[in-house]
Chains A and B, each alone.
Chain A
Amino acid sequence: MSNGLGIYIHIPFCVKKCLYCDFLSAPAKLPVQEEYVKKLLSEIEQESVKYRVYSVDTIFFGGGTPSVLPPEWIVQILKKIQECFFVRNTAEITIEVNPGTVSEQALYMYRNAGINRLSIGLQSFQEKELKYLGRIHTPEQFLDTFSCARKVGFTNINVDIMSALPEQTMSDYRNTVEKVLELRPEHVSAYSLIVEEGTPFYEMQLNLPDEDVDRQMYQYTERILNAYGYERYEISNYAKPGYECRHNVAYWRRLPYVGFGIGAASMVDNVRWKNVDDLECVGEKENIQKLTKEEQMEEFMFLGLRMTKGVSRQEFHEQFQVPIEDIYGKVLSKMEQLELLENGDWIRLTRKGLDVSNYVMSEFLID
């Protein structure tokens, strides 16, 4: 079997930018979008020749809000990929959608074209929170989108929710989670809000929940999702058995992936690059970087540790031809002593370690 490959398609458009969003996205008129899709199609076609030896295992339409594009264009892009690449028939093909931007007709077209996983950006079930975040949809629109998705045959759906929102109380959050669980999605991404520099939130006086409430929300999330049969397989991601997002897991496992569209990142054969984030230069690459062995080891650790399963001692040894103890012996025992890591055949974050994962991961950077 040939090597697997992930494909990421970036759609940098949305109806209106959310106040906390620091991703590459903005509203645009239809002709701009059309021009972009044209360039994207030719980028896919041109680049595909380099990936003859790969077979595509996952495809991910991300944004922005990919569902702002007319659905036939999404279908067209997917067709182009299927035409130019060898796409396995077991491939996981995901699209992110926002309630309020997607009709039953669109969902039907996605499903029909082969998209088999849907990621719905809900964020909250509370109307006031959605407004505060600058979201364009209501809770009802979400319910509508979800039931349409089921109706047209989506059996793998993710719902994004957020905690630690401005003005959010514990009972608000509990309400959001409970309502999501009533729908029994296969996958839940639960993030806590991070106020990033450069976003409108950064400039605003926000009444964020204090640390204790934030902690409560965090712990509650894991408890209730476990109770409902979801496994926390990654720091912020929960799935029913067998429904882990393969596309994201591939990032953490450092499997090859290629991104198309502006700002998209790629890594193939231990070379990382990024596409230029300018609509005028679709397909241009920058920051091309051949990873040194040390950098590869660092990534192996800090990406692998995002997964609750952790990283395998044996795999490290096989990949880098050196025992992990030789490189990270000191860090491992220090982190073990602090009860942040379990240090067995698999090395993984403890519950305490998950809470302070950045601290642990930064220790694995080599001076």
Chain B
Amino acid sequence: MSNIDQSKIRNFCIVAHIDHGKSTLADRIIEKTGLLTSREMQAQVLDNMELERERGITIKAQTVRIVYRANDGEEYIFNLIDTPGHVDFNYEVSRSLAACDGAILVVDAAQGIEAQTLANVYLALDHDLDVFPVINKIDLPSAEPQRVMDEIEDVIGIEAQDAPLISAKNGIGIEEVLEQIVHKIPAPKGSADNPLQALIFDSLYDSYKGVIVFCRIMEGRVSKGTKIKMMATGASAEVVEVGYFGAGQFIPCDELSAGMVGYITASIKNVKDTAVGDTITDIQNPCSEPLPGYKKVNSMVYCGMYPADGAKYPDLRDALEKLQLNDAALQYEPETSIALGFGFRCGFLGLLHLEIIQERLEREYNLDLVTTAPGVVYKVHKNNGEVIELTNPSNLPDPTEIEYMEEPIVSAEIMVTTEFIGSIMELCQERRGRYLGMEYMEETRAVLRYELPLNEIIYDFFDALKSRSRGYASFDYELKGYEQSELVKLDILINREEVDALSFIVHKDSAYDRGRKMCEKLKDEIPRHLFEIPIQAAVGGKIIARETVKAMRKDVLAKCYGGDITRKKKLLEKQKEGKKRMRQIGNVEIPQKAFMSVLKLDDKK
């Protein structure tokens, strides 16, 4: 396989807005090129995590090599690099794009261009990729392919009139896509005779092979025995195996050379040594400088994760360790909560990343978790000049020691149909947004630009956005920087005891509202006890809201009929079992789900 003609290689990816059919198209391309028979095809071959299939989203970048015999009679090697679609994984997307020479833009024939379509296309154009559009879902009754083609030309400015009109779901128009890949995507540049320069665009941990690095060879060649070095992390190793990607399997080969996409194993034990975006070079014949664009990824969102059953703490630690081997963006460190016991403060790229990790822990590792309210990283400037990066509200220094605090701000683009502009602007206003401007894309649609504090969008912003636009608004953001802000710590007291796991940082103007909602929610979640339980919200020791869980006055099973004792016992068992899933705070038993329910404080409407 080492004698591949570089001019016959096409490295590309597919970019799209969520749900526009990216993964389905990938499946069809793989199917058409005969890599798998359709019987072997499971929908969405590239999304191989159970969770990815279920949610219909791509979390990890996946790659596959396929062979295509084109109409010109030649065989071409396609390396299809599937990219994560969600804004949380933007950096991964950008690194995957850097490994490609071109991109297929999939646009839904009914919905047209969405915010993520734009974001992803601009990202692709930034990487100098040649982009050609494909209009998908043309078999939908609401499809308007001509309107969408015009829209692509108007808004993005790329040629769209000869875009293949396809239905990935029903296999219509796929051959045309394959031909256009050959003709519209350029062959890779670079020379196998230059020093090795390879871009890491993903890695995963395999318990037999160690870390498997996914890379695109830009210059030079690499084979078994090459001594390599990661230029940013400085880690070095000797290559054990190189190969390329079959569908769902690794196929070893002798050598990877310039223009090729493949994997390298080198008995590396830690995914952290192989950071996405880093450049691999040959120690004996190094390249002069690394490829551009490497960035250390920082967690944007933090929360505490605790085992529901305290005895499972070691299991949680092992599970996080294993997950991190696969997902270098996950960060964690041990912490202790008075309310929840031993657990971990975990850092994530965004809320979706958090949810995914949480679900994977629960499913793949069978753990029952209690998660605290997610927060962002605040910068606390103390009077003595010290600056603390605060990830856990409980660690906030005494207010008298604080000079000022800063919070992260994002710039957001919200695409919305004109009828909802008013309600979306209102939402952004409520979330302390700063209006930057608005552009009409066409008569009925506009892009709103706002600066928003990150802590206002990590709660339920996305849900609120969808509900206020009947699902039509789409949203994209990137971190802009830090700004000074008047923040306070909101504490919750249950039966006059502060519950550390429920504290969070909030802007002073939202404190009252948030506190009141928290108390209301907790009142519904905490079962009645034999005594009255006050639930209070406090800022700096001052109570700002209060609710009361009334004392339980009756808990009787009246009728016990015909001697059916088993049924009665089951009821008592259920009652007792319920109590076990509670956390004891003072003499109040709080259900686990109370800790989680406060994450979703319903937005009005």
Contact = CB atoms under 8 A, between A and B. Distances in A.
Interface of A: 6, 8, 10, 23, 62, 191-192, 194, 211, 214-215, 218, 235-236, 251, 257, 259, 263-267, 272, 274, 287, 289, 298-299, 302-303, 306, 338, 340, 354-359, 361-363, 365
13 contacts: A62-B562, A192-B554, A192-B556, A215-B554, A266-B563, A267-B563, A287-B566, A299-B565, A302-B568, A354-B556, A356-B530, A356-B553, A358-B557
Contacts of A23: 561-562
A306 B576 CA distance: 18
Given A10-B562, A302-B569, 8 more contacts: A251-B563, A259-B563, A354-B556, A355-B556, A357-B557, A358-B571, A359-B530, A365-B576
Given A23-B561, A191-B559, A194-B559, A355 B566 contact: no
Contact of B562 (A194, A264, A365): A264
Nearest to A10: B562
B563 A358 contact: no
B552 interface: yes
Interface of A is mostly: mixed
B573 A365 contact: yes
Contacts of A357: 555-557
B558 A235 contact: yes
A265 B558 contact: no
Contact of B565 (A8, A211, A265): A265
Contact of B572 (A62, A235, A340, A362): A362
B560 interface: yes
A359 B553 contact: no
A102 B557 CA distance: 30
Interface in B525-569: 530, 550, 552-566, 568-569
Question: Lowest 4 A-B CB distances belong to which pairs?
Answer: A191-B558, A356-B555, A362-B575, A362-B572
A10 to B, nearest CB: 7
B564 A265 contact: yes
Contacts of A359: 530, 552, 555, 575
A359 B569 CA distance: 12
Interface of B: 530, 550, 552-566, 568-569, 571-573, 575-576, 579
B554 A274 contact: no
A121 B292 CA distance: 86
Name which of A214, A236, A358 has the most chain B CB atoms within 10 A of its CB. Answer: A358
B527 to A, nearest CB: 10
Contacts of B530: 338, 340, 356, 359
B576 to A, nearest CB: 4
B565 A215 contact: no
Given A272-B565, A299-B569, A356 B576 contact: no
A211 B553 contact: yes
Given A298-B569, A362-B579, A365-B572, A211 B563 contact: no
A218 B561 CA distance: 20
A8 B556 contact: no
B554 A356 contact: yes
Contacts of A354: 556
A355 B554 contact: yes
Given A365-B573, A365-B576, A358 B566 contact: no
B559 to A, nearest CB: 6
B497 to A, nearest CB: 19
A298 B576 CA distance: 13
Contacts of A235: 556, 558
A187 B371 CA distance: 54
Contacts of A6: 563
A358 B555 CA distance: 6
A236 B556 CA distance: 9
Contact of B556 (A274, A338, A356): A356
A354 B555 CA distance: 9
A6 B563 CA distance: 10
Given A356-B555, A357-B557, A362 B564 contact: no
Contacts of B563: 6, 8, 251, 257, 259, 265-267
A357 to B, nearest CB: 5
Contact of A356 (B552, B560, B564, B569): B552
A301 to B, nearest CB: 10
B558 A251 contact: no
B554 to A, nearest CB: 5
Nearest to A291: B565
Contact of A362 (B552, B565, B566, B576): B576
Given A265-B564, A299-B569, A362-B579, A355 B555 contact: yes
